[in-house]
Amino acid sequence: MKSIMTRNKIGVAGTLVVIACFLSVPAYAVDAADAQELLEKSKCLKCHDVEKTKKGKAYKKIAADYKSNPNAVAAITKHVTEPSQVKIEGEMVDHGVVKTRDKARIQNLVEWILSR
Ligand code: HEC
Protein backbone atom coordinates (compact mmCIF):
# COMPACT_ATOMS: atom_id res chain seq x y z
CA MET A 1 0.00 0.00 0.00
CA LYS A 2 2.72 2.42 1.01
CA SER A 3 4.71 1.82 -2.15
CA ILE A 4 1.68 2.56 -4.31
CA MET A 5 1.15 5.86 -2.48
CA THR A 6 4.76 6.85 -3.05
CA ARG A 7 4.59 5.99 -6.68
CA ASN A 8 1.44 8.04 -7.10
CA LYS A 9 3.07 11.06 -5.51
CA ILE A 10 5.98 10.85 -7.89
CA GLY A 11 3.52 10.47 -10.74
CA VAL A 12 1.65 13.61 -9.74
CA ALA A 13 4.84 15.59 -9.20
CA GLY A 14 6.17 14.43 -12.55
CA THR A 15 2.98 15.49 -14.29
CA LEU A 16 3.15 18.91 -12.67
CA VAL A 17 6.74 19.38 -13.80
CA VAL A 18 5.74 18.50 -17.36
CA ILE A 19 2.82 20.96 -17.26
CA ALA A 20 5.08 23.67 -15.81
CA CYS A 21 7.52 23.20 -18.68
CA PHE A 22 4.78 23.68 -21.25
CA LEU A 23 3.56 26.80 -19.51
CA SER A 24 6.93 28.47 -19.14
CA VAL A 25 8.41 27.73 -22.56
CA PRO A 26 6.21 28.75 -25.48
CA ALA A 27 6.27 26.03 -28.14
CA TYR A 28 7.04 28.65 -30.76
CA ALA A 29 9.42 31.35 -29.61
CA VAL A 30 10.63 33.52 -32.45
CA ASP A 31 13.25 36.19 -31.78
CA ALA A 32 11.71 39.08 -33.71
CA ALA A 33 14.52 41.52 -32.96
CA ASP A 34 17.14 39.14 -34.32
CA ALA A 35 15.04 38.42 -37.43
CA GLN A 36 14.66 42.12 -38.17
CA GLU A 37 18.33 42.80 -37.59
CA LEU A 38 19.21 40.09 -40.09
CA LEU A 39 16.75 41.51 -42.65
CA GLU A 40 18.29 44.92 -42.21
CA LYS A 41 21.84 43.63 -42.51
CA SER A 42 20.99 41.52 -45.57
CA LYS A 43 19.22 44.44 -47.30
CA CYS A 44 16.00 42.47 -47.68
CA LEU A 45 13.98 45.51 -46.65
CA LYS A 46 14.98 47.28 -49.83
CA CYS A 47 12.42 45.10 -51.60
CA HIS A 48 10.24 43.64 -48.85
CA ASP A 49 8.06 45.14 -46.18
CA VAL A 50 6.03 43.22 -43.60
CA GLU A 51 2.71 44.83 -44.44
CA LYS A 52 2.88 46.06 -47.99
CA THR A 53 4.17 44.66 -51.23
CA LYS A 54 7.07 46.63 -52.68
CA LYS A 55 9.36 45.08 -55.31
CA GLY A 56 8.91 41.78 -53.52
CA LYS A 57 5.81 40.50 -51.79
CA ALA A 58 4.95 41.64 -48.28
CA TYR A 59 6.08 39.11 -45.68
CA LYS A 60 2.46 38.90 -44.54
CA LYS A 61 1.46 37.88 -48.03
CA ILE A 62 4.27 35.31 -48.22
CA ALA A 63 3.21 33.88 -44.86
CA ALA A 64 -0.39 33.65 -46.07
CA ASP A 65 0.65 31.97 -49.34
CA TYR A 66 2.64 29.34 -47.46
CA LYS A 67 0.14 28.83 -44.68
CA SER A 68 -0.92 25.32 -45.68
CA ASN A 69 2.33 24.31 -47.36
CA PRO A 70 4.06 21.54 -45.39
CA ASN A 71 7.36 22.40 -47.10
CA ALA A 72 7.18 26.09 -46.21
CA VAL A 73 10.24 26.15 -43.95
CA ALA A 74 12.41 24.21 -46.41
CA ALA A 75 11.24 26.26 -49.41
CA ILE A 76 11.76 29.64 -47.74
CA THR A 77 15.10 28.58 -46.29
CA LYS A 78 16.30 27.60 -49.76
CA HIS A 79 15.00 30.85 -51.23
CA VAL A 80 16.85 33.04 -48.74
CA THR A 81 20.12 31.08 -48.66
CA GLU A 82 20.73 30.01 -52.26
CA PRO A 83 21.26 32.55 -55.03
CA SER A 84 18.35 32.75 -57.44
CA GLN A 85 16.78 35.21 -59.82
CA VAL A 86 13.42 36.91 -59.52
CA LYS A 87 11.47 39.05 -61.93
CA ILE A 88 11.07 42.72 -61.07
CA GLU A 89 9.24 44.92 -63.52
CA GLY A 90 9.80 42.39 -66.27
CA GLU A 91 13.53 42.08 -65.61
CA MET A 92 15.38 39.17 -64.06
CA VAL A 93 17.50 40.31 -61.12
CA ASP A 94 19.55 38.46 -58.53
CA HIS A 95 17.61 37.77 -55.39
CA GLY A 96 19.52 38.46 -52.20
CA VAL A 97 20.62 35.86 -49.68
CA VAL A 98 20.90 36.30 -45.94
CA LYS A 99 24.23 37.61 -44.69
CA THR A 100 24.91 34.87 -42.18
CA ARG A 101 25.77 31.18 -42.14
CA ASP A 102 24.34 30.71 -38.69
CA LYS A 103 21.66 28.04 -39.16
CA ALA A 104 19.79 29.01 -36.01
CA ARG A 105 19.53 32.64 -37.11
CA ILE A 106 18.36 31.63 -40.58
CA GLN A 107 15.76 29.27 -39.12
CA ASN A 108 14.61 32.02 -36.78
CA LEU A 109 14.22 34.45 -39.67
CA VAL A 110 12.29 31.91 -41.76
CA GLU A 111 9.92 31.19 -38.88
CA TRP A 112 9.52 34.90 -38.24
CA ILE A 113 8.53 35.49 -41.88
CA LEU A 114 6.12 32.55 -41.83
CA SER A 115 4.47 33.78 -38.63
CA ARG A 116 3.66 37.29 -39.93
C1 HEC B 1 16.02 43.14 -55.39
C2 HEC B 1 14.82 43.06 -54.55
C3 HEC B 1 14.79 41.95 -53.51
C4 HEC B 1 15.69 41.75 -52.47
C5 HEC B 1 16.92 42.54 -52.11
C6 HEC B 1 15.17 40.62 -51.73
N7 HEC B 1 14.02 40.15 -52.30
FE8 HEC B 1 12.92 38.57 -51.67
N9 HEC B 1 11.85 38.62 -53.36
C10 HEC B 1 11.91 39.62 -54.33
C11 HEC B 1 11.03 39.27 -55.43
C12 HEC B 1 10.79 40.11 -56.68
C13 HEC B 1 10.46 38.03 -55.09
C14 HEC B 1 9.55 37.13 -55.94
C15 HEC B 1 8.23 37.65 -56.19
C16 HEC B 1 7.58 38.15 -54.96
O17 HEC B 1 7.60 37.44 -53.94
O18 HEC B 1 7.08 39.28 -55.01
C19 HEC B 1 10.97 37.68 -53.77
C20 HEC B 1 10.57 36.57 -53.06
C21 HEC B 1 10.91 36.32 -51.74
C22 HEC B 1 10.31 35.32 -50.91
C23 HEC B 1 9.18 34.39 -51.28
C24 HEC B 1 9.61 33.23 -52.06
C25 HEC B 1 8.41 32.44 -52.51
O26 HEC B 1 8.63 31.29 -52.83
O27 HEC B 1 7.29 32.95 -52.55
C28 HEC B 1 10.93 35.39 -49.68
C29 HEC B 1 10.68 34.54 -48.46
C30 HEC B 1 11.90 36.47 -49.78
N31 HEC B 1 11.86 37.00 -51.03
C32 HEC B 1 12.71 36.85 -48.73
C33 HEC B 1 13.78 37.71 -48.89
C34 HEC B 1 14.84 37.89 -47.92
C35 HEC B 1 14.91 37.21 -46.56
C36 HEC B 1 15.70 38.78 -48.45
C37 HEC B 1 17.02 39.27 -47.88
C38 HEC B 1 18.04 38.24 -47.78
C39 HEC B 1 15.18 39.18 -49.74
N40 HEC B 1 14.02 38.50 -49.97
C41 HEC B 1 15.76 40.11 -50.58
C42 HEC B 1 12.70 40.75 -54.28
C43 HEC B 1 13.76 40.92 -53.40
Best mutation site among 79, 99, 102, 114 for ligand 1, i.e. most ligand atoms within 8 A of its Cβ? 79
Q: Is 32 in the pocket of ligand 1 (CB under 6 A)?
A: no
The predicted pLDDT at position 4 comes to 63
The 3-state secondary structure of the chain reads: CHHHHHHHHHHHHHHHHHHHHHHHCCCCCCCHHHHHHHHHHCCHHHCECCCCECCCCCHHHHHHHCCCCCCHHHHHHHHHHCCEEEEECCEEEEECCCCCCCHHHHHHHHHHHHCC
Q: Ligand 1 atom closest to Cα of 93? A: 1
Q: Is the dihedral of CA 83, 94, 110, 69 positive or negative?
A: negative
Q: 18 C-alpha vs ligand 1 centroid, how far in Å?
A: 40
pLDDT at 28: 60
Rounded Cα distance, 50 and 39, in Å: 11
What are 86's strand-pairing partners? 93
Q: At 95, which amino acid appears?
A: H
List, for residues 25-68, the tens digit of each pLDDT value: 555 689 999 999 999 999 999 999 999 999 999 999 999 999 99
Task: Tell me, using a 6 A CB cutoff, whether residue 72 lines ligand 1.
Answer: no
Q: Which domains does the chain have, with CATH numbers?
A: 30-114 (1.10.760.10)
pTM: 0.82
